[in-house]
A and B are shown apart, each in its own frame.
Chain A
Amino acid sequence: MKIRNIAPYLYVAPSLIIAFIFIYYPVMENVQSSFFSWSPFSDTKEFVALQNYTRLFDDSVFLVALKNNLIHLVISLAVQVVGGLVLAAILEDVVFRRVAPVLRTVYFLPVLISISVIGLLFSFIYNPDIGLLNKFLAMVGLEEYARGWLGDSDTAFPAIIAMGQWQGIGYITMLYIVAIQKIPPDLYEAAEMDGAGKIRKFLHITVPQVKEISFVTIIYTVSQSILTFSDVYVLTKGGPGNSSQVLSTYLYQKAFVDSEMGYASTIANVILGITVVVYLIQAKVFKNGQEG
């Protein structure tokens, strides 16, 4: 009888223990760490109360990073969510039935390739000497726009965003394709009887019918944009002159380059705040849907 009582706890114990050690404890310690000034190389930890937080507002690099995250977010929502939905609807149209399987597979390929490969490939594409982008511009007669894309503080971050869209659109498109295939065909047939054209069918049937997956894609895209790290790390590490810094790379730089651990923890808490709000919104929205 005793054993039956503890059995369920034994089943859940491994997952709980590992979650506590590697997720919950670090998150809590990080909150505490943000009230101190400390470096990994010394034992002294100076309590600074909220100074790390007030410092954020005067830190121009932090503000650039936050702004870059927001730009990334807006562009990703426009290109990946809106663009992905339109693309999915086009690919699911009967007119393109023959070419759609090939196209959607190719559009999806970058999703499968690790960011290091994509990042290094794009560092070739943006390369001023051999880069495909400059060669392409020269080919279409726009060579005056050619430049070292990643070495120029005006274009470094846009170039990073562009790569992100290139890699990410196939994923969102695929999610929408799956959702569109589940829409009952008679909805479209009824609309056709009423003489609805393709655009009206898209706006009045497709968009409302994929509402649920749209919540997923929006939340996914928002959190990807807020958390973006690897794209920037591989291409520019935040440079030149911090122009392409985002929250995560700035956090990395403060922690592992400048050894300002307390301040880095503070930046991490900003990210924590944003992502928790995003997930709470998601949880609330999903509660109206289904459990699980």
Chain B
Amino acid sequence: MKLTVETGRNPYVAAKQKRRRSLGSMIVISLTFLLLSALFLAIAYPLLWMVINSFKTTEEIFSNSWALPVQWLFSNYAEAWNKGVSKYFLNSVFVTAVTVFLTLLFSVLSAYGLTRYSFRGKYLVLALLSAGIMFSPQVSLIPLYKMVQALGIHDTHWALILPYVAFRTSLIVLLVRSFFLSIPKELVEAAYMDGCTGIGILFRIYLPLSMPILFTSGLLTAYWAWNEFLFAVIFIDSDSLKTITSGLLAFRDAMYTDWAVLMAGLVISAIPLVLLFIFMQKSFIRGLAEGGVKG
């Protein structure tokens, strides 16, 4: 920026040109700022509107949806929580936690087998594991639906967890493996000399060094599992087992006349990931960037 005006021309002309240019660029900057602000409002306002309306009575939402609530009804939140959202919320927590745990466990074991050993079929295994990301859940939905019934897990949380783990492992195994590959061989050999073997090396050398990538992978998996929609809607029928994504749709039907409570339910459902993001912005963004295509 500072370098642009240092030309050898008449200083008066140069100064005049600079003023002209900066007037022009001021206009551009102001217009751009206006656009940024418009986008800011377009995104922030609906979210704010949702929060504000979640504190009103339903009549108030109809009669005056723009204003602040006459009285801030925190009771809407209690009602939403008690009338079903707590159930969906806890189901989501359970499904997400187990999915994250199993995905990390399977990915770490596979990545370790693939980096530490050379064995026949190694590259075939790697290809099979990672090619899984090519297939979207939609593509196998119908056979998967039959499969879930045949296994007797239809309408249980396992109908979500097991497919989630299968689909996520294909991505996470790649992330973990490429990190494992960067761990220096000397460390492993030293541990081997000290009498560490197999699983011991995994736990004493690889895992402690891999905490950042495991954390990122866990966050990425949690984000995906928490928001998964297709399986959640199709594989679970019982209201008491529904997760947030499918549960909210049932909640909408149940609360059809009570929009304020529904709105409170929406806010409750949105909070966990927003909080997680605010506190862990860095890992979150790194995870999303690394997760790339299948974010």
Known: A19-B132, A21-B166, A292-B178. A248 touches B138 (CB 8 A): yes
Cross-chain pair count, CB within 8 angstroms: 254
Q: Mark A7-46, 1 if CB is under 8 A from B, else 0.
A: 1111110111011011111110110010000001000000
- Name A75-122 residues within 8 Å CB distance of B: 87, 90-91, 94-96, 99, 103, 105-110, 112-117, 120-122
Contact A216 B292 (CB under 8 A): yes
Contact B43 A174 (CB under 8 A): no
Does B73 sit at the interface, judged by CB under 8 A? no
**Complex-state Cα separation, A144 to B198, whole angstroms:** 72
Does A146 sit at the interface, judged by CB under 8 A? no
Q: What are 29 A-to-B residue pairs whose CB atoms are below 8 Å?
A: A5-B119, A7-B198, A11-B112, A12-B114, A15-B129, A15-B173, A18-B165, A23-B135, A25-B147, A26-B140, A27-B139, A29-B140, A103-B36, A114-B273, A115-B245, A121-B47, A121-B50, A122-B46, A124-B263, A132-B46, A178-B289, A229-B229, A229-B230, A252-B141, A252-B234, A255-B142, A272-B139, A275-B136, A279-B133
Q: Mark B22-42, 1 if CB is under 8 A from A, else 0.
A: 000000010011001001101
Write the nearest CB–CB distance from B258 to chain A, whole angstroms.
13
Known A-B contacts: A15-B107, A15-B169, A30-B143. Give 14 more (CB < 8 A).
A8-B113, A16-B110, A19-B170, A21-B166, A27-B135, A94-B1, A108-B277, A113-B47, A113-B273, A114-B245, A248-B138, A255-B141, A272-B135, A275-B134
Number of interface residues of A (CB under 8 A): 90
**Complex-state Cα separation, A164 to B132, whole angstroms:** 26
Segment from A54-62, A152-160, A260-268 that makes contact with B = A260-268
| Neighbouring B residues of A30 by C-beta, 8 Å | 139-140, 142-143
**Complex-state Cα separation, A16 to B107, whole angstroms:** 10
Contact A193 B3 (CB under 8 A): yes
Chain A residue, CB-CB nearest to B202: A11
Q: Which of A90, A130, A229 is the one whose CB lies under 8 Å from B36?
A: A90
Q: Mark A250-263, 1 if CB is under 8 A from B, else 0.
A: 01100110000100
Q: Which of B146, B223, B229, B293 is the one whose CB lies under 8 Å from A216?
A: B293
Chain A residue, CB-CB nearest to B149: A40
Does A223 sit at the interface, judged by CB under 8 A? yes
Segment from B9-17, B60-68, B76-84 that makes contact with A = B60-68
Interface residues on B, range: 35 or more
| Neighbouring B residues of A125 by C-beta, 8 Å | 46
Contact A9 B113 (CB under 8 A): yes
Write the nearest CB–CB distance from B262 to chain A, whole angstroms.
7
Does A63 sit at the interface, judged by CB under 8 A? no
Contact B229 A230 (CB under 8 A): yes
| Neighbouring A residues of B227 by C-beta, 8 Å | 114-115
Contact A135 B129 (CB under 8 A): no
Does A129 sit at the interface, judged by CB under 8 A? yes
- Name A193-229 residues within 8 Å CB distance of B: 193, 195, 216, 219-220, 223, 227, 229
Does A71 sit at the interface, judged by CB under 8 A? no
